[in-house]
Amino acid sequence: MIPFPFSDQTPVAYPDPPPATADVVVVGGGIIGVMTGWHLAKAGLRAVVVEKGRVAGEQSSRNWGWIRVQGRHPSEIPIAIEAGHQWREIAATIGEDFGLRQTGVMYLANTVAHTTAHENWLASAQPYDLDSRLLSTGEVAGLIPLAATHWRSGLWTASDMRAEPWLAVPALARAAVRDGLTIVEDCAVRGLDIAAGRIAGVVTEAGRIAAPAVVVAGGAWSSLLLRRHGIDIPQLSVRATVVATEPIEEVFAGGAVDSRLAFRRRMDGGYSIAPDFTHDMFVGRDAFRNLGQYLPQLLADPMGTRFYPAAPRGYPDAWSTPRRWSEDAVSPFEVMRVLNPGPGRGLVSKLLKMFAQTFPTLPAPQARAAWGGMIDSMPDVLPVVDTVAALPGLTIATGMSGHGFGIGPAFGRIAAALASGTDPGHDLSSFRLSRFGARKG
């Protein structure tokens, strides 16, 4: 049985107490944090990843499992290309099968406008010499022959891949530990340790770790930690829902999405299916503070977000979640070790029905599992990967906006380079914190 997304009931794999000192502390044990730590360790630095709950406990084990260059913002394309190289090398060398398969990704066009958008993306990606191309209705039908839907066209990148996130990220963590990375689970970072205007380490619930450099890669929790120290990023989190079906006849070997439904073949013979039409926003103080930044997104797709008046207790932007706390008292990060939302209301049966409508000759799909995940997003759907000039020694790598799994190995290397003062190797201007202007925390 594949171990679907983790929770605070998942056994702790890394129970040792944190070390007293390190060269770099990484806050967060998702794919960005693990890969940052691994690259630091391979560079010979004493790196420690501190995770309040479990490695890959949140969005890193809850995503679609796509590894793609297709559809990326132009500034992300060279980084996604690097990530693809890293994924292939990792799969060939670590001795664990986490489901990496080169099966391609397809964006399916229901309307002329969708086809035009795909053509525009192909034009923007032309400098990178990708294998992406636009398929005709007949070519799409040849690749997805059991579908009842007749799509107008399909944007197809045969070199894109898939993997099982709940297997992949723990496998990366084990390989990183073998290469010298220290991981500490079930240990919250309560705050940054600052001395003489620069980073001096972190304060955890188990004590202080002295370090001249810290990387905050806390996913949906990053903004809450950073604002405590006067660093404001316009980060919000939205809930996305995924259903895992029982094994079923193969209808497509890779990942595909149209205006209604996304589906991706898994290594156990089932499909992971998700809606492309909606996600859920729990309104809190951050939602009001950042409304102006997100208005363009909301106006462009006014029906794409379902709003709820309040987040459940303990969520990062819940009305009752403290924004200030003492470092010698329990922090919000200990109150909720793993952010483990249930699936969206009514979506499980709806998704199964849409899959059955798309492939009516198959037996009705049955759900093996369903879950929600909180995607940490930014107004322009691009992450913040940057050092903080106002607080030397601090690097931020967060706001992956649902794209973090596939591109994670490369952004991990980039964050490690920023934290260690070496060349990141890419133009990072699109990911600068300063693009949001001066904001008071």
The answer as to whether 121 is a domain residue is no
Q: Are the CB atoms for 55 and 243 separated by under 8 Å?
A: no
| Residue 89 belongs to some domain of the structure | yes
Measured CA distances, 283 to 134, 204, 219, 349, 374 (Å): 39, 29, 18, 25, 13
Task: Report yes or no: 63 and 404 within 8 Å, Cβ to Cβ.
Answer: yes
> Residue 4 falls within a domain, yes or no?
no
Backbone region of residue 314 per phi and psi (left: phi > 0; alpha: psi in -120 to 50; beta: other values): left
> How far is 306 from 387, CA to CA, in rounded Å?
34
Alpha-carbon gap, residue 35 to 116, rounded angstroms: 36
Measured at the alpha carbon of residue 118, what is the angle toward residues 298 and 77, in degrees to the nearest 5?
Answer: 85
Q: What are phi and psi of 147, to 5 degrees?
A: -75, 140
pLDDT at 317: 93
Query: Quick check: helix, strand or coil at residue 341?
Result: coil
Q: State the distance between the two ends of the chain, measured CA to CA, in whole angstroms.
A: 45
Residue 149 counted as domain residue: no
Asked if residue 365 has pLDDT above 60, the reply is yes
The dihedral over CA atoms of 114, 120, 124, 130, expressed in degrees to the nearest 10, equals 60
Residue 439 has pLDDT above 70, yes or no: no
How high is the mean pLDDT of the chain? 94
Please report, for residues 14, 59, 82, 193, the alpha-carbon distance to residue 36 in angstroms, rounded to integers and kept in the order given. Answer: 17, 17, 14, 20
Average pLDDT over residues 11-36: 98
pLDDT > 70 fraction of the chain, expressed in percent and rounded: 98
Does a structural domain hold residue 152? no
> What is the extent of the structural domain holding 317?
24-104+159-436
The enclosing domain of 229 has a CATH number of 3.50.50.60
The number of folded domains in the chain is 1
Cα(295)–Cα(289) distance, rounded to whole angstroms?
12
Secondary structure class of 198 (helix, strand, coil): strand
Q: Helix, strand, coil proportions of the chain in percent (round to 5)?
A: 30, 25, 45
Residue 16 lies in a domain: no
> Does any domain span residue 145?
no
HSE (CB half, 13 Å, CA atoms) of 440? 0
pLDDT digits (tens, 9 = 90+) for 263-308: 999 999 999 999 987 788 888 888 888 878 887 777 777 667 888 8
DSSP β-ladder status, 105-109 and 261-265 = unpaired
User: For 34-67, how does the pLDDT look when each residue is reduced to its tens digit (9 = 90+)?
Assistant: 999 999 999 999 999 999 999 999 999 999 999 9
pLDDT at 1: 44
The SS3 assignment for 138 reads helix
Evaluate whether residue 138 is within a structural domain.
Answer: no
Q: What is the DSSP letter of 127?
A: G
Residues 126, 79: contact at Cβ < 8 Å? Answer: no
pLDDT tens for 86-139 read 999 999 999 999 999 999 999 999 999 999 999 999 999 999 999 999 999 999
Residue 263 pLDDT? 98
